[in-house]
Amino acid sequence: MTDVSGKTYWLIGASEGLGRALARRLSDEGAHLILSARNAERLHSLSAELADARVVALDVTDTAAVRRAAADIDELHGVIYNVGAYEPMRATEWDSDTALTMADINFTGALRVLGEVVPRFVRQGRGDITLVGSLAGYRGLPAAIGYGASKAALVSLAETMRFDLKDTGVVVRLVNPGFIKTRLTQKNSFRMPMLMTPEDAAQRVLRAMKRRRFRTDFPAPFSWLIRCVDLLPDLLVYRGK
Ligand SMILES: NC(=O)c1ccc[n+]([C@@H]2O[C@H](COP(=O)([O-])OP(=O)(O)OC[C@H]3O[C@@H](n4cnc5c(N)ncnc54)[C@H](OP(=O)(O)O)[C@@H]3O)[C@@H](O)[C@H]2O)c1
Q: Global pTM?
A: 0.97
Q: Hey, which residues are catalytic here?
A: 147
Per-residue pLDDT tens, the chain, 241 aa: give them. 789 999 999 999 999 999 999 999 999 999 999 999 999 999 999 999 999 999 999 999 999 999 999 999 999 999 999 999 999 999 999 999 999 999 999 999 999 999 999 999 999 999 999 999 999 999 999 999 999 999 999 999 999 999 999 999 999 999 999 999 999 999 999 999 999 999 999 999 999 999 989 999 999 999 999 999 888 888 888 887 6
Instruction: Report the nearest atom of ligand 1 relative to the CA of 81.
Output: 45
The answer, yes or no, to whether any atom of ligand 1 lies below 6 A from the CB of 39, is: yes
Ligand 1 near 15 CB (within 6 A): yes
Residue 173 bridge partners (DSSP): 130
**Which residue from 11, 18, 107, 154 has its CB within 8 A of the most atoms of ligand 1, so it is best to mutate?**
18
Mode of pairing for the β-strands spanning 8-12 and 78-81: parallel
Mention every residue, 6+ apart, whose C-beta is less than 8 A from residue 158: 131, 133, 172, 173, 174, 214
Nearest CA among 152, 150, 133, 140 for reference residue 237:
140
83 CB near ligand 1 (under 6 Å)? yes
From the CB of 196, is ligand 1 less than 6 Å away? no
Q: Is the CB of 60 under 6 A from ligand 1?
A: yes
241 C-alpha to ligand 1 centroid (Å) = 31
Query: Structural domains in the chain?
Result: 8-237 (3.40.50.720)
